[in-house]
């Protein structure tokens, strides 16, 4: 899939939604990266393993707990780190990964906010329809 350029996306957003800021576009890109990382079953499995161990999990233990090879696990861990979902701490030769619960909470809040906005927009549309219908009934009575 071809990614839209920053200025092109800002231009589209400004033309259809005046006032949509560059910060909003940046936030959308950030959340897209997070949600894309969460959309893979292997990465969800890795997050589940890491979440169960507060002190962090060595990548070698993640490999031992899955049927996947070390390079495959490394790739998925990299995607999770780049999305901000995992922290990495080097201990000797090994990397230990910990879940960024704050990022998961922020992602949940972002989804909740989108839902509240959608509910508000739906309520406003329903109210507008009701007002038009009431106005049409009033016009017919006169």
Is residue 58 classed as helix, strand or coil in its secondary structure?
strand
Q: Which of 20-24, 29-33, 100-104, 109-113 has the highest mean pLDDT?
A: 100-104
Averaged pLDDT for residues 41-56: 91
Between 59 and 18, name the one with better pLDDT. Answer: 59
* Interval 72-90: pLDDT, tens: 999 999 999 999 999 999 9
Domain ranges of the chain: 12-99, 101-142
pLDDT reported for residue 18: 58
Reduced 3-state DSSP string for 59-123: HHHHHHCCCCCHHHHHHHHHHHHHCCCEEEEEECCEEEEEECHHHHHHHHHHHHHHHHHHHHHHH
Are the CB atoms for 100 and 54 separated by under 8 Å?
A: no
CB-based burial label for 130 (10 Å; 0-12, 13-18, 19+): exposed
Residue 140 confidence (pLDDT): 62
Give the model's confidence band at 30: pLDDT under 50 very low, under 70 low, under 90 confident, else very high: confident
What was the pLDDT predicted at 44? 93
CATH code of domain 12-99: 1.10.10.10
> Are residues 115 and 124 in contact, defined by beta-carbon separation less than 8 angstroms?
no
Largest CA distance in the chain: 85
CA angle 109-115-119, nearest 5°? 145
Task: Find which of 6-15, 60-69, 126-135 is predicted with most confidence, using mean pLDDT.
Answer: 60-69
Say if residue 1's pLDDT is above 60. no
Look at residue 114 and tell me whether its pLDDT is greater than 60. Answer: yes
């Amino acid at each position: 899939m071809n990614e839209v350029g920053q200025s092109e996306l800002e231009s589209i957003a400004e033309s259809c939604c005046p006032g949509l800021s560059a910060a909003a576009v940046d936030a959308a890109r950030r959340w897209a990266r997070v949600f894309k990382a969460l959309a893979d079953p292997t990465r969800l499995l890795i997050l589940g393993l890491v979440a169960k161990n507060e002190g962090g999990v060595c990548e070698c233990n993640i490999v031992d707990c899955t049927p996947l090879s070390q390079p495959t696990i490394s790739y998925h861990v990299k995607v999770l780190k780049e999305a901000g979902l995992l922290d990495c701490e080097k201990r000797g030769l090994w990397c230990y990964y910990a879940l960024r619960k704050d990022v998961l909470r922020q992602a949940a809040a972002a989804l909740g906010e989108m839902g509240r906005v959608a509910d508000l927009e739906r309520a406003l549309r329903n109210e507008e329809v009701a007002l038009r219908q009431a106005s049409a009934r009033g016009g017919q009575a006169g």
